[in-house]
Structure 1
Amino acid sequence: MKVLLVDDEKHVREGMKLLGAWEQNGVDDILEAGNGEEAVRLIEEFRPEIIFTDMKMPRMDGTRLLEWMKENAPTSKTIVVTGYDDYHFMRKAIHFGSFDYLLKPIDPEILNETLEKVVNEWKKEEAQRQTHMSSHQLINEMKPVYRDRKLTQLMNSDIATEDLYEMFGFHLSGHYNIGLVRVNGKTIESFHGDRDLAYFTILNVINEILMQKQCGIGFRYLSNKGEIVIIFWDQLDKVAEQLVMIYETIKKALNVSCSIALGKPVQSSAKLQESYLHAKQLLVHQNVLEEKNVRVYLQESTPEPPLKSLMAYSSNIELAVQTGELRAFEELTRQIVAEYTENHYYTHSSRFARGTKRNEICFVP
Structure 2
Amino acid sequence: MMNRKLNALIVDDEAVVLNSMKKRIMWDKYNVENVYVAGSMAIAKKIFEREHIDFMLSDVEMPQGSGLELFEWVKLHYPATECIYVTCHPEYDYMRKAMLLGSVDYILKPIDYSELDEILTKLVERLQSEREKEEIPGDIVIRVAVQESQENHNQSVHDAKRFILEHIQEDICVDDIAMTVHLNASYLMRTFKKETGVSILEYITNERIKLAKEILLSTDYPVTKVAELVGYPNYSYFTKIFKKSVGVGPKGYRNENAKSHF
What is the TM-score when the length of structure 2 is the normalising length? Answer: 0.48
Larger Rg computed on CA atoms? 1
Higher helix share: 2
Q: Identify, as 1 or 2, the structure richer in strand.
A: 1
Relative contact order (alpha carbons < 8 A, sep ≥ 6): 1 or 2 greater? 2
